[in-house]
Structure 1
Amino acid sequence: MTRDRSADDSDDLELTIDQFHDACQQVGRPMLTADGIARTLDRSQDAVSDELEALVDRGDLESFSVTADPIVWYPANLEDLTEQERIVVFPKRREIVVDQPTQFTRAQLSQFAHLADANGKQGYRYVVRPEDVWQAPHEAFDDLARTMRQALGQRSEPLEEWVRSQWDRAHQFQLTTHEDGYTVLEAKTPEVMGNVARQKLDEEHVHAPISDTEDWVREGAAAAIKRILYEAGYPVQDHRDLDSGELLDVDLAVSLRDYQQTWVDRFAEAGEGVFVGPPGSGKTVAAMGAMAEVGGETLVLVPSRDLARQWAETIEEYTNLGPHQIGQYHGGQKHVRPVTIATYQIAGMDRHRSLFDDREWGLVIFDECQHVPSDVYRRSTHLQSQHRLGLSASPIREDDRQTEIFTLVGPPIGTDWQALFDAGFVAEPELEIRYVPWGDDQQRNAYASADGRERYRIAAKNHGKIDEVRYLLRDHHDAKALVFVDYLEQGRELAEALDGPFLSGETPHHERRRLLEEFRRDERDLLVVSRVGDEGIDLPTADLAIVASGLGGSRRQGTQRAGRTMRPAGGALVYVLATRGTREEEFARRQLQHLGRKGMTVREQTRGQVGSNETADSDN
């Protein structure tokens, strides 16, 4: 494995093959003279010539004589210039750019850096953020520094210095349990207690000081303290002695994939966390691995009763637990058992809250945990448990409150999407934005005279999209297809035009189950689905997804809909329809650029008329 030196390192060591490759890249030639490499690296020609000979002796370079210059130098294996793994570090920006990274490198980087962009042609761009350092799965900073050096193939002192400062911040405060049973906030020094905690917290959170470095914590205020200090840049280590409830022996009926086992191991080390991975990566199964690891009574919180039912069925299928050990608590039924699946809304209601408070859970699982920061859902994070685990394909929020997810639940744990694509665990769907002309002049004129939200609604319900959907379904006649809409009226029109069912929030629960099972068993190859399919139900995977409307929604919604085609078999397609010349074009690019940064291929195409190409724009 060969690697680049840091872009900020000075050239005060002997010449390496990595520097030679870097010089070749800069001048755009695979061969260099001693004078050429000396100028490129700002070194003396005499010193460079001796070091080039040393590289020849080691077998890294070869040379030959020409008339214009005594010697020309080139790599012993010219393929190294294009196929080698190359890493460049930018400490001031805390960015790492990687070309041709190996699985090992990506796995190491994911422990302390965030994958910001993944483009196979332009490389991978990682950013080291404070929260990435705070959640690094290491007991000591030296262990983290060793991981960084293994990933980068070098030591970047400026970057390590910044990472150490963030590591120190993450170990300034801890919550502990006093021998008398109450909770204590403890600071590392009197200075940080006085200048940070006692400036940020008030009587709602802590009692009078116990000492210069300790404060009593008011009952129920621990979560608020963690959030406030986290926002101040000081995450709190939670070392309270929480009861785990009754023991529960959970055995998995399936083997975890290697990356799922890694997620579970990191969760076990931290005691909390958020599994972050694309749809189809098996977060639910990994969560059951966490249940087995904890071995205690478990509460699973979900957005809807449909998901509660699906969780109950999945737990029964993949573990040794029987129906008498699995309960559901929502509007349809109310049973509290060793493993209970409840909706967020029910768990947050005062009249039901005591049922969950009276039981000391070993583990609370927050499914679709990107909702947790919202006012309705966050009350559920106050439930007492020894461990907490979140699941999310895309822990982002349009209100930029995503950091609260990790404050309230735990640090992010996951594998970058591109690594799962490359390993074949999850299929990489092809995404294409198709710009559709207006279906009739009446809608076009209505759009021109409307403004605000009404304009968006008219563009979303463009009748021209019905013909476009028909064309795509004909073009992929063997595919199982999901068609997504945001408007009930549009969904009914599409379902009627396509002679297929429309699944929405108005569809009775028994009818939803029947339609989904038929689709899952290949007895039905088309469903038109409203927003209820984004997160409220567990849709089966499909070969083809068509987003007819919904482009004004969140980036998370785009992720969920694209994710309905992700499965190991591959070959899936996602088409996003946007009315040409409207703001839908901007919304489409915003949603799909987010997916493009995760490593998916995104194309754009404008169609003059249904069934014929007008122009093929550009790949994102």
Structure 2
Amino acid sequence: MGRNPTLTFDRGTLILHPPPHSKAWIDYATWDDRVEKFRIPAIRYRCLVEALQAEDTNFTDEAKGFYPLDLVASLEMTPYPHQNEALAAWKLAGRQGVVVLPTAAGKTYLAQMAMQATPRTTLIVVPTLDLMHQWYAHLTAAFPDADLGLLGGGSRDQTPILVATYDSAAIHAETLGNKYALIIFDECHHLPTDFNRVIAEYAIAPYRLGLSATPERTDGKHADLNILIGREVYRQGAEDLAGKALAEHQIVQIKVKLSQLERERYNQLIQTRNDFLRQSRISLGSLQGWQTFVQMSARSQVGRRAMLAHRQAKEIALGTDGKLRILMDLLAEHYPARVLIFTADNATVYRISQDLLIPAITHQTPVKERHEILTKFKEGEYNTLVASHVLNEGVDVPAASIAIILSGTGSAREYIQRLGRVLRKGNIENKQAILYEVVAEDTSEEGTSARRRGERSNEPQRCEEREEKKEKKKDRKGN
């Protein structure tokens, strides 16, 4: 009688040896000449085990390092209907899948509900250190008797419940892969990158929950979430939850005219750019056209002048003095309400901070100073904050009721995240949130605004997206 097949975990993969006599497992296996054994991707663990069990194949499972937990919650609230519906949909899908809910809709508490419904070793993956500490604080309050730890920011805990940044989890994916039965991917749109996806691919976790307000990615890789986590099982938008889990809100667009001098200069710059585009037969109505413009602009002095003109025209549209006048009017109108001001660049942040004496947060703000500013804002000592991208994601400021977008990218995700900063109800009854979007009229910024609000536009996206990615990389370093 032959030996019983044994399933083991090996640095992000599975080894099944000796091979079973059944056949279904072969669909998942690849022969590895180096060890002369069959190797299976770790992410196929659940499918493999179910296939072996379906054929009544006896095998020894030495791969799984996860185990049940006794989770007793000290922090329990009455769930909103959408949270119960989302949990039920996730369980119905085999406890695998993505839940799409707007910022401030209670995704963290939904994750707690999923952990209570699936009490096993759990890994929570988040994009920033701020979010890592927010999750840790929530879970410590929810499960005070549980053994919780952190991976990232200098912490390297090995605990049954672990909160990790995407960067740290990816670096340690080969060793984390068999330790957790449930993985919760917060802001799961960060997962399908070449670097981060190994967190899911090297893991055998049979249960996976993805959370995001905006899972869609411009590179189309959000489709990979179906494989890495599971299909989308539930979705609600901010409009669906307004007045219920979220504050009632309105969105107001204010168009600002350039001054005569700004308009003349803007038109001159656009003319310089367009002359070059015509001579080079380049159309900016597509991503390919923008890429061609970038390439051609580097090959001649005329091209470099055209690209410089393009950037200077954009700076005029984003930073027109008319926007600052509108900003001052809005601040006076809503005083003493808590206001968040968003811009597309740090230079404008510092300009507003200096001219209007408003506390500013950028990727350059030291961690302690940033924490102090946010604390004073939450406590009401500061009524207004100005930031570029660092408050887009993972910062809890429920006291804010007014958001003013002076400039931004064409990213719908950024737009939704900025709106979400003022949608959290907190302890404020009958909260009415307002998002102001200030746009320079008859400039390229109108196209940028249309894209982030989901309207059609022929303006190329590449420029703004590239700048957004640069800022986010800076923000991560700043965290």
Common fold: TM-score over 0.5: yes
User: Paired residue for 2:205?
Assistant: 385
CA–CA distance in structure 1, aligned partners of residues 108 and 129 of structure 2: 16
Which of 215, 224, 229 in structure 1 is aligned with 2:27? 215
- How far off its partner does 1:181 sit? 4.4
CA–CA distance in structure 2, aligned partners of residues 209 and 246 of structure 1: 29
Which of 423, 435, 444 in structure 2 is aligned with 1:583? 444
Q: Can you list the C-alpha shifts for 1:99-124, whole angstroms capped at 9, x where unaligned?
A: xxxxxxxxxxxxxxxxxxxxxxxxxx
Structure 1 residue 329 corresponds to structure 2 residue 151: yes
490-499 vs 416-425, which moves further: 416-425
Q: What secondary structure does 1:532 align onto? A: coil
CA–CA distance in structure 1, aligned partners of residues 49 and 328 of structure 2: 55
Which of 488, 513, 534 in structure 1 is aligned with 2:371? 513
User: Paired residue for 1:296?
Assistant: 120
Alignment of 1:503-542 (within 5 A): 503-542=361-400
- How far off its partner does 1:469 sit? 1.0
User: Paired residue for 1:246?
Assistant: 67
Q: Can you list the C-alpha shifts for 1:225-284, whole angstroms capped at 9, x where unaligned?
A: 99xxxxxxxxx8994787361322223312222321232233233221112111121011
- How far off its partner does 1:484 sit? 0.8
- How far off its partner does 1:370 sit? 0.9
Stretches of structure 1 that go unaligned for 5 or more consecutive residues are 1-178, 184-206, 227-235, 596-620
Alignment of 1:404-423 (within 5 A): 404-417=224-237, 420-421=240-241
CA–CA distance in structure 1, aligned partners of residues 124 and 7 of structure 2: 27
CA–CA distance in structure 2, aligned partners of residues 298 and 211 of structure 1: 32
CA–CA distance in structure 1, aligned partners of residues 210 and 268 of structure 2: 45
User: Paired residue for 1:437?
Assistant: 257
- How far off its partner does 1:505 sit? 1.1
User: Paired residue for 2:414?
Assistant: 557
533-542 vs 259-268, which moves further: 533-542
User: Paired residue for 1:448?
Assistant: 268
Q: What secondary structure does 1:545 align onto? A: strand
CA–CA distance in structure 2, aligned partners of residues 480 and 436 of structure 1: 24
Q: What secondary structure does 1:559 align onto? A: helix
Q: Quick check: 1:208–1:216 contact (8 Å CA) kept in 2? A: no
User: Paired residue for 1:274?
Assistant: 98
Counterpart residue type for residue 217 of structure 2: R
Q: What secondary structure does 1:247 align onto? A: coil
Counterpart residue type for residue 260 of structure 1: Q
- How far off its partner does 1:516 sit? 1.6
Q: Quick check: 1:243–1:386 contact (8 Å CA) kept in 2? A: no
Which of 184, 187, 210 in structure 2 is aligned with 1:365? 184
User: Paired residue for 1:259?
Assistant: 82
Q: Quick check: 1:244–1:297 contact (8 Å CA) kept in 2? A: no
Structure 1 residue 400 corresponds to structure 2 residue 220: yes
CA–CA distance in structure 2, aligned partners of residues 180 and 590 of structure 1: 55
Structure 1 residue 574 corresponds to structure 2 residue 435: yes
Q: Quick check: 1:481–1:542 contact (8 Å CA) kept in 2? A: yes
User: Paired residue for 1:616?
Assistant: none
Q: Can you list the C-alpha shifts for 1:29-56, whole angstroms capped at 9, x where unaligned?
A: xxxxxxxxxxxxxxxxxxxxxxxxxxxx
Q: What secondary structure does 1:396 align onto? A: coil
The 1:399–1:448 alpha-carbon spacing in structure 2 relative to 1, beyond 3 Å, is: farther
Counterpart residue type for residue 208 of structure 2: R
Which of 303, 306, 309 in structure 1 is aligned with 2:130? 306
Q: What secondary structure does 1:279 align onto? A: coil
Stretches of structure 2 that go unaligned for 5 or more consecutive residues are 9-18, 31-38, 52-60, 274-306, 457-479
Which of 167, 177, 195 in structure 2 is aligned with 1:376? 195
Counterpart residue type for residue 265 of structure 1: A
Q: Quick check: 2:28–2:41 contact (8 Å CA) kept in 1? A: no
Counterpart residue type for residue 415 of structure 2: G
The 1:594–1:312 alpha-carbon spacing in structure 2 relative to 1, beyond 3 Å, is: farther
CA–CA distance in structure 2, aligned partners of residues 370 and 209 of structure 1: 40
- How far off its partner does 1:547 sit? 0.7
Structure 1 residue 180 corresponds to structure 2 residue 1: no
CA–CA distance in structure 2, aligned partners of residues 238 and 512 of structure 1: 48
The 1:339–1:217 alpha-carbon spacing in structure 2 relative to 1, beyond 3 Å, is: same
The 1:312–1:546 alpha-carbon spacing in structure 2 relative to 1, beyond 3 Å, is: same
CA–CA distance in structure 2, aligned partners of residues 291 and 504 of structure 1: 34
The 1:530–1:237 alpha-carbon spacing in structure 2 relative to 1, beyond 3 Å, is: farther
TM-score, normalised via structure 1 length: 0.56
Q: What secondary structure does 2:453 align onto? A: helix
- How far off its partner does 1:295 sit? 0.9
The 1:539–1:567 alpha-carbon spacing in structure 2 relative to 1, beyond 3 Å, is: closer
The 1:220–1:555 alpha-carbon spacing in structure 2 relative to 1, beyond 3 Å, is: farther
- How far off its partner does 1:305 sit? 1.0
Counterpart residue type for residue 104 of structure 2: G
User: Paired residue for 2:14?
Assistant: none
Q: What secondary structure does 1:535 align onto? A: coil
The 1:346–1:498 alpha-carbon spacing in structure 2 relative to 1, beyond 3 Å, is: same
- How far off its partner does 1:366 sit? 0.8
Higher relative contact order (CA 8 A, sep 6+): 2
User: Paired residue for 1:233?
Assistant: none
CA–CA distance in structure 2, aligned partners of residues 561 and 471 of structure 1: 21
CA–CA distance in structure 1, aligned partners of residues 28 and 48 of structure 2: 16
CA–CA distance in structure 2, aligned partners of residues 533 and 478 of structure 1: 21
574-583 vs 540-549, which moves further: 540-549
TM-score, normalised via structure 2 length: 0.71
- How far off its partner does 1:387 sit? 1.1
Counterpart residue type for residue 151 of structure 2: Y
CA–CA distance in structure 2, aligned partners of residues 462 and 573 of structure 1: 22
Counterpart residue type for residue 438 of structure 1: L
The 1:250–1:586 alpha-carbon spacing in structure 2 relative to 1, beyond 3 Å, is: same
CA–CA distance in structure 2, aligned partners of residues 342 and 209 of structure 1: 40
Moved over 6 A (4+): 207-210
CA–CA distance in structure 2, aligned partners of residues 353 and 421 of structure 1: 36
CA–CA distance in structure 1, aligned partners of residues 447 and 210 of structure 2: 32
Identity %: 27
Q: Quick check: 2:360–2:386 contact (8 Å CA) kept in 1? A: yes
CA–CA distance in structure 2, aligned partners of residues 539 and 181 of structure 1: 51
Q: What secondary structure does 2:27 align onto? A: strand
CA–CA distance in structure 1, aligned partners of residues 98 and 372 of structure 2: 32
Aligned residues: 379
Q: Quick check: 1:519–1:540 contact (8 Å CA) kept in 2? A: no
Q: Quick check: 1:279–1:560 contact (8 Å CA) kept in 2? A: yes
Q: Quick check: 2:102–2:238 contact (8 Å CA) kept in 1? A: no
